[in-house]
Structure 1
């Protein structure tokens, strides 16, 4: 019975991963610049929630200054959430000589704020004059064609929500670089699987560091209402609500010009806090298919450590264990190689097998830890 169960679960996982390869290869590169479509594009309000980003925010604002998209067609709203460093001073200093329309949304301090990012975005949308809302984070970097490519794609498709790729910046040397590389590959798997789900119109995940949606769609689904007390989910829960009504208008923009770069975690503690926060979201999904997928992925990864234990106690033969490893890792390696290459991290492909070995233990660990409803620290605050 154990052998049969492990084989069925791993076999289904192999077929699912193989289908992702097909979907990714079939999906074309999209969002090429079109002067006619740029002219028809909607005005964009770029919203950047920040807290204690003094080391990063200036670089992002400089990137926005360099956008090829007409400066009359977008505005930037930085929502400062009670920063205790020089973040606000840096923004104010930049604002004095900025060629872009830069608006500072200074949030009032709030006690027991369980979802500070949602609060920052929601209040900024109320100030926004754009028809399109694009969100990113204060520690991100964007390319010069970022907004123009998104605007062209939206004008061409009439998209209600557009998810774009996010990747980590890698340090140049040492153990720090190795830890970053592991995070890049792990995160690439999320980017790729989320993209493929959107390609088949079954969206399940996205990232608020690179997300665009119609302001009218935000209000149509009552924004963050219903999950405003959850620290996470300013991106995925909103996407699910929009997709429930307009699934055909939810897209992933497969174009390198829209890649947003952000910093990998610099400590195991910050990595742990974020992944725990992410893993805790699945319990609150209202879409049974998304919940079922999250549960299946958990058990598909649990199958590997279980099979190792069973093999150690001679409950399953070695040759069967080898077959399970092949089913789990073969299609997965091809898929990850495609996504990592698209994200311009081809040099890290050799590390994929290492990540594949540790990933099942990581998934099981965070899947179990996330069920504990304890507080965790994020941006200097304790959140639930």
Structure 2
């Protein structure tokens, strides 16, 4: 019980620190300054025929001079009509510089190889990555241009949210209902966004998302690119962030609704678990002490709640300390999630927070343990943790 109490105190301190960090980051809006920054937008894809039209349509609507950005689409052995969709996009928008490349596989990480393949041919100073199942905002590049001019950051992590359910349900009051599975996933995404940004706010950045990540090409090359972790299938974002920090490059979080990239929700609970196992599998390779501490405390807190609940039911532990700790965790988690949900204008999903908070310890514990003992499937390929 004493150990559980100490873990709980550490967890509360961690969450309060992340809440403070989130609030320390000011919201940023574009001031529509002169477009000076050049961007090489890099998008790896594999069997994304269903999602690419949404992404490509959003890219065509970018409000930024066409001579200041290029789009590199890297095919990773697709077996559907993804390449044909990309070629049609290239033909329909001749005013854009669009490259369709084949992935040059060199490691155990197809995505890192694809990004590296594109960077070798990139013409602009800043690399900007997103995923094929995303949708980018019209002012994405303009906002990044303004932010980079203000901060001179070598790496900018941008916000990511789920694409809202569509078509919208009418009448409006019925739109308050969110499917339980999707609500659970969205709350998880909101918590990850808030935690990641909060860590930037206290200068302990350890998490970002490759669906919205911008960095200088020369800094990437000076840091050695993905070398040293390219045998880990995922982590093109987190490991690069850690490398930039080791090199003392300036890294920032862009807290801007105008620069928020939206991504598709997972199609099933099984797909969600597989995705989270993939994310968790890279955690043992983290080098940041803060990231190791945060990951361990969050895991121990969730495991502790499960063990505490079982021992309380067996009347080995008194139930009230476990209940008090759960309520403290409930409130501090809600505070962080509320800030994130308010920023992304998704407050309605908080209606599912209570039952999600009961389910989350089971979910996170299972994902963490599964990531340690088994592999996972990603884009039709199997990888070992």
TM > 0.5 fold call: yes
Deviations 1:92-139 (A, max 9, x none): 11111213211111236x5x9621000100000011101000000011
Give, in whole Å, the separation in 2 of the partners of 1:167 and 1:243.
25
Match of 1:239 in 2: 241
Listed as ranges, the matches of 1:89-108 within 5 Å are: 89-98=84-93, 99-107=95-103
Distance in 2 (alpha carbons) for counterparts of 1:291 and 1:75: 37
Mean Cα deviation higher: 171-180 or 139-148: 171-180
Equivalent of 2:78, from 83, 92, 95?
83
Structure 1 residue 222 displacement after superposition? 0.3
C-alpha displacement of 1:88: 0.4
Cross-structure match for 1:268:
269
Aligned mate of 2:40, from 35, 39, 45: 45
Aligned with 1:127: secondary structure?
coil
Q: 1:73 aligned to 2:68?
A: yes
Separation in structure 2 between the aligned mates of residue 26 and residue 132 of structure 1, nearest angstrom: 26
Contact 1:170 1:181 (C-alpha < 8 Å) held by counterparts: no
Matched, 1:33 2:30: yes
* Residue in structure 1 matching 2:19, options 18, 21, 46: 21
Deviation at 1:327, TM superposition (A): 1.5
From 112, 116, 120, the equivalent of 1:122 is: 116
8 Å Cα contact 1:162-1:250 kept in structure 2: yes
Separation of aligned partners in 2, 1:278 and 1:238: 15
Deviation at 1:315, TM superposition (A): 2.4
How many residue pairs were aligned?
Answer: 375
Q: Distance in 1 between matches of 2:24 and 2:228?
A: 36
Question: Is contact 2:112–2:230 with CA below 8 Å preserved after alignment?
Answer: yes
Question: 1:43, 1:209 → 2: CA distance?
Answer: 19
Provide TM-score, normalisation by structure 2: 0.93
- Aligned with 2:55 (options 54, 60, 63): 60
What is the rounded CA distance, in whole Å, between the counterparts of 2:319 and 2:102 in structure 1? 61
Q: Secondary structure at the match of 2:372?
A: coil
Q: Given that residues 186 and 355 in structure 1 are in contact (C-alpha distance below 8 angstroms), is that contact kept between their aligned partners in structure 2?
A: no
- Once the two structures are TM-superposed, the CA of residue 60 in structure 1 deviates from its matched residue by 1.2
CA distance in structure 1 between the partners assigned to 2:145 and 2:303 by the alignment: 42
Taking structure 1 as the reference length, the TM-score comes to 0.93
1:237-316 matches, cutoff 5 A: 237-246=239-248, 249-316=250-317
- CA shift, 1:23, in A, is 2.4
1:332 and 1:304 mapped to 2: Cα distance?
14
- Residue 34 of structure 1, CA deviation: 2.6
Change (3 A) 1:186 1:298: same
Q: CA RMSD of the aligned region, Å?
A: 1.9
Distance 2:325 2:377 in 1: 38
Q: Would the alpha carbon gap of residues 127 and 84 (structure 1) be closer, same or farther in structure 2, given more than 3 Å must change? A: same
1:131 and 2:125 are equivalent in the alignment = yes
d(CA) in 2 for partners of 1:295, 1:22: 20
SS for the counterpart of 1:54 is coil
Aligned residues of 2:30 and 2:146 also touching (Cα < 8 A): yes
Q: Distance in 2 between matches of 1:26 and 1:283?
A: 29
Indicate conservation of the 8 Å contact 2:10/2:297, yes or no: no
TM-superposed CA distance for 1:283, in Å, is: 0.9
Aligned-residue offset at 1:177: 3.3
Match status 1:375 vs 2:375: yes
3-state DSSP class of the match of 1:246?
Answer: coil
Return the offset for 1:316: 2.4
The question of whether the paired residues in 1 share the 8 Å contact of 2:20 and 2:201 is answered with no
2:258 aligned with 1:230? no
CA contact (8 A) 2:302 2:364 kept: yes
After TM superposition, the structure 1 stretch with the greater mean CA deviation from structure 2, 51-60 or 212-221, is 51-60
Shift, 1:170, TM fit: 4.2
- Unpaired runs of 5+ in structure 2? 170-174
